[in-house]
Amino acid sequence: MRSGGLVTSLKVGDQPVNLSATYRITTNNFMAGGGDFYAMFKAACDRVASGGFCQDSGVLMLDALVTEFQTGSPVSRQVEGRIVAQ
């Protein structure tokens, strides 16, 4: 990542992102609404004429987190190396 937060490399798994491919992501309502300068998420969600690209699961983040702790405990954490700043 360059100074100012410019991404210089992006991979899915161990492969570079294919700019011609379509990817499906999961995010929270805040970012899907354009928060934290993710205007491209809001733009994708607003494409109602083409059926829209966003689906609201109706699950509150807090409920999903509580369920994860209840069903996935004990919770272990580790550095996965998925985000690398150079």
| Average pLDDT in the chain | 82
pLDDT of residue 48: 66
Output the pLDDT for position 20. Answer: 92
- Between CA 55 and CA 65 the distance in angstroms is 19
Q: What digits encode the pLDDT tens for the residues 38-55?
A: 888 888 888 765 566 788
pLDDT at 44: 83
Q: Residue 2 pLDDT > 80, yes or no?
A: no
User: pTM of whole model > 0.85?
Assistant: no
Distance CA 55, CA 26 (A): 10
Q: Mean pLDDT across the stretch 32-37?
A: 88
pLDDT at 67: 92
Q: Are 32 and 45 in contact (CB under 8 A)?
A: yes
Containing H/E element for 11?
Answer: strand 11-12
Cβ(39)–Cβ(31) under 8 Å? Answer: no
